[in-house]
Structure 1
Amino acid sequence: MKKKILIIEDDTIVRENTTEILQLANYDVISAENGKIGIEKASFFKPDLIICDILMPDLDGYGVLQILMRNRSLQKIPVVFMSAKTKHEDIRRGMDLGASDYITKPFEESELLSAVATRLKRKEIYERNIEKENRSPRKLKIDEIERVFKFKESVEYKAGSTVYCEGNVSNHIFYIVKGEVKTFKVNQDGKELITEIYSDKSFFGFTSLLESSPYVENAEAIKDTKILRIQKNEFFQIIKDNPELGLNFIDMLSHDLEFIKDHLMHLVYDSVRRKTADAIIQLHDKRGGQSPIEISRSDLASFLGIAKETLTRTLTDFKEENLIYTQKNEIRIKDKEKLQKIQ
């Protein structure tokens, strides 16, 4: 099918010569002698490309372009300006308004045909990409992983159940559908130090993602938890098919690394009150601001690297200061702003 081109030019000789050149090049061409008529013809002709003069009576080329940009059915049509105006600011103004190209008069036949062919080719590529995107699945985000792996049955872990142990060979990464998991290490004295706490819609177990090397920590469900066990080759295939997911995953890993760095700084340098307050706020925010925070005193103390008795006294102080409310293993924030200011 021939490509359709609309020429808007008030100079009769230029208009007729340009029309003849393009018709000889096998384009379907119509013309208009001014901007107003050009807009009317564009509306019913729906050209693939518009070639428009700038200096015209009644409605100049800039005005034509602005009207086209406001019309949803015409705004995607590439416009090539054709004018004797050669000042940089004139060209820049046209490009800023949305023109696709600029031909100065007088022009060579080859220059005109080259500009037209280039713009039509770019339009074709653009439309092909749009069509491909419309046929393709929507770009995935991390929290849509369940939809991708809906064929996989989630595994249920009761509170206190082991997900994996340090030294186990890593063949999977894990995604929490619902629940909570802690990762931790145990020192030579048998003391547990929690390295991270993961909640709904979180990945974990990716410290050995690229190799089938052993896990360097333990993972255990804090409460009843549903988890997707995803084999690494399955995960890499999904990333290959959905590059956006891979970028989101890298962003998530970077965020987690920053969190771990901050957490270590708090453990080393902050007072017990300061790091306890920060941990409560972090756990609260990681759960999307949902209350209450459900965590045992032992686990929270392990996460902070302090004795359970020390944590209990600190939580009691916070409760008396009306900063939090506690009941059994639940913590609710009552005054987050004051909690953030604790030193």
Structure 2
Amino acid sequence: MKRILIVEDDAALRENTAKLLALENFEVITAANCSEGIRLARESNPDIIICDILMPEKDGFNVLKEFSSNDHTRHIPFIFLSAKTNHKEIRLGMDFGADDYIIKPFDEEELLSAIKSRMAKVHILNNIISLPQHEPYKNIEDLKKYFDDHGDFSHHLKGETIYKEGDRANKIFLILKGLVKTHKMDQNGKKLITSIQKPEDFMGLTSFIDNNPYQESATVVEDRDLAGVNKQILKELLSENCDLSLELMNILTDNLSDIKDHLLQMAYSSVSKKTAQTILQFAEVLDKGPLGEIKISRSDLASVAGIAPESLIRTLSDFKKKGIIEIEGRNIKILKLNELQNLE
């Protein structure tokens, strides 16, 4: 029988919820405050914790923080049950690492569905983590297959934000389809695109260790599909496969080298060369071939090149007059590859 801990200071709601769950054949333990809830969680090792946010002594955020920092309780699914409907509060709860956030008054089926789905997820993840060490996750291709087979799938539309700079990083992502741009804001409020990532690229690796915040934002350029894996599970896989860990380190090293080259180009190249190299970079990432046609916004081109949009537009017009490129709407087609590559 699965055991559920309810931490709720409202006696009537606590008792009614306990009765509801007992009827569903759960063993229910209740606590009227956070201190009691923390003690019972350590003593009874529940399968899932349901916790209110606004309570005396400590609030639910502090309870989750304490559970997350304890090796014996950090694995237990945690569901917030709160009357706070503000989007920022819900976002804060999820950023703290909660598995779900249910708003009072809640529908019985909604609560039961959340509990059963979280327990099913834990069961699946436990089976994954307990795989024998000879499981063939030996290289990056095997790791990508793992993401594809076991990751949390999500679909995002063009312009949608995947995560923002400063958000807590709980997952590593693999792009299955489409393009994503990562970007930061400088001290003057100007957006700088740090990379354009394509299918088969990993995202979120800059925040791989612990629960550090993402160091940049990620926004969808083309409708795309993602597979996300919890960092704790990924750590388990890497700890059992030294070769895989080294190969992932090589990817990180290559990414850092690319960023360094990009920064040097932005700092020292002419506007013409910056524009030309950015067009070539987008053509490569979009896999359009050396004479391919790319469709990208002028603002994104300017952000990657590190120049003002006005300067970019003037430079593109100059390239067009020289017959180096062809422009139709947002489409840019490379006509003279060698000239574009050799611009100074």
Counterpart of 2:316 in structure 1: which amino acid?
L
TM-score by length of 1: 0.56
What is the SS of the residue equivalent to 1:230?
strand
1:335 and 2:336 aligned: yes
Aligned-partner Cα distance in 2 for 1:241–1:326? 51
- 1:321–1:208: structure 2 CA closer, same or farther, 3 Å change rule? same
- What per-residue deviation string (whole Å, max 9, x for no partner) do you get for residues 147-201 of structure 1? 5541334211111111111111111112111111111112344321111111111
Q: CA deviation at 1:289?
A: 4.7
Moved more, 184-193 or 296-305: 184-193
- 1:148–1:191: structure 2 CA closer, same or farther, 3 Å change rule? closer
Q: CA deviation at 1:242?
A: 4.0
The match for 1:204 is 203
Asked if 2 retains the 8 angstrom alpha-carbon contact of 1:200 and 1:287, the reply is no
Q: CA deviation at 1:318?
A: 1.7
Aligned-partner Cα distance in 1 for 2:329–2:142? 31
The match for 2:303 is 302
TM alignment of 1:160-179, pairs within 5 A: 160-179=159-178
Moved more, 205-214 or 314-323: 314-323
Counterpart of 1:255 in structure 2: which amino acid?
D
1:320 and 2:321 aligned: yes
The match for 2:220 is 221
Asked if 1 retains the 8 angstrom alpha-carbon contact of 2:147 and 2:228, the reply is no
Aligned-partner Cα distance in 1 for 2:203–2:335? 30
Aligned-partner Cα distance in 2 for 1:320–1:143? 48
The match for 1:112 is none
Counterpart of 1:311 in structure 2: which amino acid?
L
Aligned-partner Cα distance in 2 for 1:333–1:252? 29
The percent of aligned pairs where both chains have the same amino acid is 37
- 1:219–1:143: structure 2 CA closer, same or farther, 3 Å change rule? farther
Structure 1 unmatched ranges of 5 or more: 1-134
Counterpart of 2:274 in structure 1: which amino acid?
K
TM-score by length of 2: 0.56
- What per-residue deviation string (whole Å, max 9, x for no partner) do you get for residues 34-75 of structure 1? xxxxxxxxxxxxxxxxxxxxxxxxxxxxxxxxxxxxxxxxxx
Aligned-partner Cα distance in 2 for 1:294–1:137? 39
TM alignment of 1:269-284, pairs within 5 A: 269-284=268-283
Counterpart of 2:158 in structure 1: which amino acid?
A
What is the SS of the residue equivalent to 1:154?
strand
- What per-residue deviation string (whole Å, max 9, x for no partner) do you get for residues 265-322 of structure 1? 1111110001111112222223445433332101111112211121111112222222
Aligned-partner Cα distance in 1 for 2:162–2:179? 11
Q: CA deviation at 1:254?
A: 1.2
- 1:158–1:246: structure 2 CA closer, same or farther, 3 Å change rule? same
Aligned length: 209
What's the C-alpha RMSD, in Å, of the aligned pairs?
A: 2.2
Query: Bigger radius of gyration, 1 or 2?
Result: 1
1:293 and 2:284 aligned: no
- What per-residue deviation string (whole Å, max 9, x for no partner) do you get for residues 100-122 of structure 1? xxxxxxxxxxxxxxxxxxxxxxx
Asked if 1 retains the 8 angstrom alpha-carbon contact of 2:147 and 2:229, the reply is no
- 1:189–1:145: structure 2 CA closer, same or farther, 3 Å change rule? same
Aligned-partner Cα distance in 2 for 1:143–1:158? 28
Aligned-partner Cα distance in 2 for 1:239–1:330? 42
Moved more, 263-272 or 291-300: 291-300
1:244 and 2:270 aligned: no
The match for 1:71 is none
Aligned-partner Cα distance in 1 for 2:237–2:247? 13
